[in-house]
Amino acid sequence: MKRLMTCIECPQGCSLEIEADGTRVISVTGQKCKRGDKYARQEVEAPLRTLTTSVLTRGLELRMLPVRTSKPIPKEKLFEAMEGVKRLVVTSPVKAGSVIATDFLGLGVDLVACRALNKI
Amino acid sequence: MRDRELVIVGGGPAGMAAALAARAAGAQDVLLLERDQHLGGILNQCIHPGFGLHHFKEELTGPEYADRFARQVAEDPGIEVSLRSFVVKLTKDREISFLRPGALEEVKARAVILATGCRERTREMIAIPGSRPAGVYPAGLAQKIVNMEGWIPGREAVIVGSGDIGLIMARRMALEGVSVKAVVEIQKTSRGLVRNVVQCLEDFGIPLYFQHRISMIHGRDRVEKVSVVKVDDEFRDIPASGFELSCDTVLISVGLIPENELLEMAGAEMDRKTNGPVAPEVNLTSLPGIFACGNAFKVYDLADSVTRDSELAGRAAARYLGLK
């Protein structure tokens, strides 16, 4: 079975053509770099996305702290992860890279701060 | 009036890159003026990934990309950062007046780099008929409201324009539980990156209507619905193609225009169509010793490209100052 997709690894957005048997990839063509091949295989088997959102703070310089998952998570877990994020409040100063939640929702990834925020 | 070697207006990606490059090229005394309470500019609200693939060879979010430069700037003893500092006047002789809490400062710079970014085009600039209810936002403003202020502008949204900001806000609103009814694009293709059409719309099942326009916004106090109509290649409405979408929010993402009031005030020659300076090459203006870089010079697709070109501006200013 042939599948067409657009690579989302970088702004080039290569058009990929994937030959697959169910979730087993036979060949990938159209990518300008090796990330395209890896993306296509992952996308066919189990799509992953990095979640970026912001978390409520208390007593810090800004009302919201931008955060990301340290690694991509399964695409179908995005909304569950958003629910989890809404339950968090950050009250201690952070730096870019500070871990806000370890093994977030048991997904095997950390939730990480994307910027520094100090106390007011 | 104090003399300064180089004054840079704007502490976003353009201003920070220009400051660091000017220092590397030998500038000793750089004053970086930023109106916000933090450096970073628009990157602070661009919490999505996609930054840094060229410059850092890794994918970062906007705040992470800004943080890397902000830390370098903070550690550089030759760069004085003045936050909450809003420039109100610039002359062709490079005299600058700026307000900061409790003071009006005046400096005379030997060179100036304007890195003042851009503004969003508004509903008024594309003339969408209808009433003027609450719930119509420029998409970038909605981005700031959601990502930095922490509130959601509505429950059901229609997005006008398929530029990157519109696409990214479609995903952002969908993630926050807003029902995003459609993205409506008058052109035949998206002005945004293909990857954003895929990961922002297709991932969330948001319909994208090409060659359609909003013909009316309805609602008294709050947006209630929009009328959508299909257009032909000459942007004329196709009869009987109209339909309605109920929504309480309309986000307008129809492009950006460079913000160059200071440059105009100083008397530089401006391109009336783009609102950028008339210039023989990138980063120059018609005024000697006054440079413009980043989105103030022209609107860029990628922050990485802003960094690259703004480093050139920093070096050009250093050359003008007779360094190196």
pLDDT at B295 (0 to 100): 98
Do A52 and B49 count as a contact with CB atoms less than 8 A apart? yes
Cβ atoms of B8 and B35 within 8 Å: the answer is no
- Is A36 a member of any domain? yes
> Touching check for B104 and chain A: CB below 8 Å?
no
The answer as to whether A120 is a domain residue is no
| Residue-averaged pLDDT of chain A | 93
Task: Give the total number of structural domains in chain A.
Answer: 2
Chain A partners within 8 Å of B146 (Cβ): 54
Residue B5 structure tokens: 């070697």
Q: Could you tell me if A24 and A69 lie in one domain? A: no
- Kindly state whether residue A118 falls inside one of the protein's structural domains: no
Residue A93 lies in a domain: yes
Q: Is the pLDDT of residue B317 over 90?
A: yes
* In a shared domain, residues A74 and A95: yes
Residues A99, A58 share a domain: yes
- Distance (Å, whole) CA B151 – CA B162: 23
What pLDDT does residue B137 have? 96
The domain over range B122-252 is classified in CATH as 3.40.50.720: no
- Both structure tokens of B271: 């391109």
Token pair belonging to A32? 């300008």
Structure tokens at B324: 């190196």
Non-local CB neighbours of B211 within 8 Å, separated by 6+ positions: B185, B186, B187, B188, B230, B231, B232
Q: Is the pLDDT of residue A107 over 90?
A: yes
> Residue B114 pairs with which residues in a beta bridge?
B9, B292
Whether B122-252 and B2-119+256-320 are alike in CATH topology: the answer is yes
Query: Do A73 and A109 lie in a common domain?
Result: yes
Residue B290 has φ and ψ, to the nearest 5°, of -115, 120
A35 and A13 in a common domain: yes
Tokens of A33: 């770099």
A91 and A71 housed in the same domain: yes
Per-domain residue ranges for chain B?
Answer: 2-119+256-320, 122-252
- A85 and A37 within one domain: no
Provide ipTM, 2 decimals: 0.93
Q: Which CATH number does the domain housing residue A78 bear?
A: 3.10.530.10
Exposure string for B71-82, b = 16+ CB within 10 A, e = fewer: eebeebebbebb
Residue A21 is predicted with a pLDDT of: 86
Within 8 A of B50 by CB-CB distance, chain A residues are 11
pLDDT band at B127 (very low <50, low <70, confident <90, very high): confident
Tens digits of residue pLDDT in A7-52:
988 888 899 999 988 888 889 999 999 999 998 988 888 899 999 9
Length of chain A in residues, anyone?
120
CA dist B20 and B76 (Å) reads 8
Shared domain check, A109 and A56: yes
Same domain, A81 and A102: yes
Q: Which of A7, A13, A66 sits opposite B47 (nearest CB)?
A: A66
Identify the band that residue A1 occupies on the pLDDT scale cut at 50, 70 and 90: confident
- Please judge whether A5 and B198 are an interchain contact, meaning their C-beta atoms are less than 8 angstroms apart: yes
User: pLDDT by residue (tens digit) across B177-235?
Assistant: 999 999 999 999 998 888 899 999 999 999 999 999 999 999 999 999 999 999 999 99
Tell me the average pLDDT of chain B.
96
**Chain A to chain B Cβ contacts (< 8 Å):** 83
Residue A119 lies in a domain: no
The whole-angstrom separation of Cα B130 and Cα A64 is 34
Identify from B38, B57, B61, B148 which residue to disrupt to test chain A contact, counting A C-beta atoms within 10 A and taking the largest count.
B61
- pLDDT at site A10: 82
- Specify the CATH architecture of the domain B2-119+256-320: 3-Layer(bba) Sandwich (3.50)
| Mean pLDDT on B249-264 | 96
As a whole number of angstroms, the distance between CA B199 and CA B207 comes to 13
Per residue in B36-51, pLDDT (tens digit) is 999 999 999 999 999 9
Alpha helices in chain B (DSSP H): 13-24, 62-75, 123-126, 139-144, 164-175, 194-196, 261-265, 303-320
State whether A71 and A101 are in the same domain: yes
Which residues of chain B does A115 touch, with a Cβ-Cβ cutoff of 8 Å? 40, 44, 63-64, 66-67
pLDDT in tens, B65-113: 999 999 999 999 999 999 999 999 999 999 999 999 999 999 999 999 9
pLDDT of amino acid A79: 96
Same domain assignment for residues A56 and A95? yes
Please give the pLDDT value at position B50.
92
Q: Which domain holds residue A59?
A: 52-113
Q: What is the pLDDT of residue B194?
A: 87
Say what the pLDDT of residue B106 is: 98
Contact A66 B147 (CB under 8 A): yes
Categorize the per-residue pLDDT at B27 as very low, low, confident or very high, splitting at 50, 70 and 90. Answer: very high
User: Is A78 found in the same domain as A41?
Assistant: no
